[in-house]
Amino acid sequence: MSGTCFDGSAHILSNDEVLKINNFKTKNDYSSLEEMYSELSTILGEENYIADLLTNYWINKTSISNSSLNFILLDGNDNLIWRSQEILNLIDTPWDEKVPDEIYEHIDTPVLESYIPSGNPECDAYPCDKRPNILFYYQELKGTLISYSIESDTEPKPEEFSDTCITLETPNEEIELVNNVLYKTQILQREYEYEDFRGKNLTVKLFTLKDV
């Protein structure tokens, strides 16, 4: 997949940790959390938090589903076969009703790099009574972050692929993310062997119940 990529995470904070971050921000005259992004691991402890490697909630690396999203098929020698923006959402394809029930039961479960071990995995940054304070981080990257491998005796066609998306909700915005990519009725596994991207935007927000 090529286009705008999402490399982000959410971390649940205690009230004391919120106070630590805000006090550090005020004391050092930072105007935003983006400016002090590199200090957050020190404030929270590197054994507890590294934005793109270690959190107590979730980490996700995928593509943003928008008009810049392209699917590119390469052969075994990395030669370009086709480039397409016509990959459909699963429910709009002939494969929809052929996906096995045991797969379909989990098709909307977020595919995450890591998440809290208890309960179902979630992907949001919206405070609630259970999670009143959330530190939300993400980089928008331009290029390719995710790839998939396919074995086929015939050349796959764009119409044989589909995807599913999830909506990442925050108090400020909703971000549509690619969740699963399927080849016919097979869910493909994410790989990171063709990473080729450059940084675009960095967002760091601390959301509390006061923001909702």
The DSSP symbol for 191 reads: B
pTM over 0.85: yes
* CA 206/CA 12 separation, integer angstroms: 10
Confidence bin at 113 (pLDDT 50/70/90)? confident
Residue 45: how many other CB atoms lie within 10 Å: 10
Angstrom distances, CA of residue 189 to CA of 29, 32, 58, 88, 147: 44, 37, 18, 18, 8
> How do residues 13-53 score in pLDDT, each as one tens digit?
999 999 999 999 999 999 999 999 999 999 999 999 999 99
Residue 176: how many other CB atoms lie within 10 Å: 15
* CA 73/CA 93 separation, integer angstroms: 19
SS3 state of residue 81: strand
Is pLDDT of 201 > 80? Answer: yes
Domain extent at residue 167: 2-211
> How do residues 60-75 score in pLDDT, each as one tens digit?
999 999 999 999 999 9
Mean pLDDT within 122-135: 94
> How do residues 139-198 score in pLDDT, each as one tens digit?
999 999 899 999 999 999 999 999 999 999 999 999 999 999 999 999 999 998 888 888
> Structurally, how many domains does the chain consist of?
1
Q: What is the per-residue pLDDT for 200?
A: 84
Q: What is the per-residue pLDDT for 27?
A: 97
Q: What is the per-residue pLDDT for 116?
A: 57
Confidence bin at 104 (pLDDT 50/70/90)? confident
Q: What is the per-residue pLDDT for 121?
A: 67
Distance in Å from the first CA to the final CA of the chain: 34
